Amino acid sequence: MFTRMSDIDRMFGAMDLLRNRMERLFSDPGRSWLQGSAFRLGSDSPRINIMESGDNFEIQAEVPGISKDELEINVQGNYLQISGKRFVDKPEGYKVHREEIGESTFSRSFTLPNDVDADNVEAALKDGVLYLKLPKSEAEKPKQITIN
């Protein structure tokens, strides 16, 4: 019936660990808590908005610190892939006390609801946001049929 004190200490230690993790979970809402690469959007991956307006898809992707030369956009049918690299210039002769901005790569891919006319895609990079205008292919657009 008597329990050793070390067992009680271990139980309270586990409860403290759980409480600390729960506090971190609710104190940092921007952090991804799902585990596994299939569910995690890494901090290096850009956040993306995909919208549809009439005959076009419009995409906005946050890519701060990435130049247009380091971005790659591929479209095939209704498949879109955006990838890039971020390089950080480190000055010589400095002692680093904290380094949160590092070199990184990312790749995001999406399946759009319709095929895209890849020859007429427009892309622009402004203030760290990539803007894409992807026109739907002619085969995907509705056609008006006249009756003779």
Q: Where are the domains of the chain?
A: 48-139
Q: Per-residue pLDDT for 98 more than 60?
A: yes
**CA separation for the pair 47, 42 (Å, rounded):** 10
Residues 47-87: tens digit of each pLDDT:
999 999 888 999 999 998 889 999 999 999 899 999 999 88
Mean of pLDDT over the chain:
82
Confidence (pLDDT) at 36: 44
Q: What is the mean pLDDT of residues 8-23?
A: 82
Whole-structure pTM value: 0.64
pLDDT for position 90:
79
Is the per-residue pLDDT at 109 higher than 70?
yes
Least confident of 8-17, 35-44, 124-133, 136-145: 35-44
pLDDT of residue 123: 96
Look at residue 140 and give its three-state secondary structure: helix
In angstroms, the CA 61 to CA 142 distance is: 28
Is residue 135's pLDDT more than 80?
yes
Residue 43, SS3 per DSSP: coil
Beta carbons of 59 and 134 less than 8 angstroms apart: yes
For 42, residues 6+ apart whose C-beta sits below 8 A from its C-beta are: 32, 106
Residues 9-20: what's their mean pLDDT? 82
SS3 sequence of 68-124: HHHEEEEEECCEEEEEEEECCCCCCCCCCCCCCCCCEEEEEEEECCCCECHHHCEEE
48-139 belongs to CATH 2.60.40.790 = yes
Angle CA(48)–CA(54)–CA(59) in degrees, nearest 5?
15
Looking at residue 74, what is its pLDDT?
93
